[in-house]
Amino acid sequence: MLSASDTIRRLGGIARGAHLQTLGFTRRTLTNCVRRGEIQRIRDGVFAVEPLDGDIRSATAHGGALTCASVLQLAGIWVLDTTEVPHVWLGSDRHAHPHDGCACVSHFYRGTPPLGRASLETALVHFRRCAGDEAFFAAFESAWRKRLLSAAARARVRAALPASARWLVDLARSDADSGLESLLRLRLHVLGIRLDCQVSIDGVGRVDFVLGGRLILEADGKKNHDGTMMHKDRVRDAAASRLGYETLHFDYAQIVHDWPTVQSAICGALDRLRARN
């Protein structure tokens, strides 16, 4: 017979006492294992072994399952605002359990939380309720690009959303290179501005977006370009200008924190291009 620690490890590092009892481990056996330091009691009726993710440990001690941005970050999915504290799904009829160092964000959403963490699909649905449409859209596209969402999974996420939000899934694509690009495309769509994504232009190369056939938008990452990258950008911009294109570059801070300025620049550039025609 496997030891209690080996059994819990094979169950993913965390297990309910009731389940362990069906496998032959008595309450006394589990208590003795805790005393010897072979396993840990996270809360009444729940046991774990190392290594166990710290946020999952906190969520379990809190009385629920890790969800929302916390699960997305564990999966390497892009989120608009990273979280440093666990987001915990408690269900609609549960209450939080106080525990040492608790900084958890409680989500009292309907359903029964699993042990450990919510599925990626559930975490995405919770993330929309917590962080809003834009954050959800960027995370959904990031998960899709990472091939973490099958067609069936995407359909289930769509079905779980309110009818008024399902258009976000319908608009989403699998080829967004970054969360910033996702945000740009969504915000421009809301303005009624059509854009082409990941366009290859002869003599210029691949660009993030083209609007109106002649306006290039480039969404730079959160980290600043080094000198080499900036030089390459300038060379590309010059090549595009020779072909009749105008190029606008926006960085992370501008897109996320100063959207009105970005929107005004885009609309002004489109007006200038239309005036030339």
Same domain, 105 and 199: no
pLDDT for the residue numbered 184: 86
Same domain, 35 and 62: no
The residues, any chain, with a CB within 8 Å of residue 25's CB and separated by 6 or more, are: 4, 7
Number of separate domains in the chain: 3
**Across 13-22, 49-58, 236-245, least confident range:** 236-245
pLDDT for the residue numbered 277: 66
Same domain, 14 and 89: no
Place of tokens 């006394």: 28
pLDDT for the residue numbered 5: 92
Same domain, 183 and 240: yes
pLDDT for the residue numbered 175: 86
Q: Which residue range forms the structural domain that includes residue 70?
A: 54-172
Same domain, 38 and 60: no
Same domain, 101 and 41: no
pLDDT for the residue numbered 228: 63
Strands of the sheet containing 40-43, edge to edge, are 14-16, 46-48, 40-43
User: Model pTM?
Assistant: 0.85
User: Is residue 163 pLDDT above 80, yes or no?
Assistant: yes
Same domain, 3 and 82: no
Same domain, 136 and 164: yes
Read off the pLDDT of each residue in 131-146 and give the average, rounded to a whole number.
96
Provide the token pair at 48.
Answer: 């774990």
CA angle, 64 as apex, 9 and 41 as ends, to 5°? Answer: 45
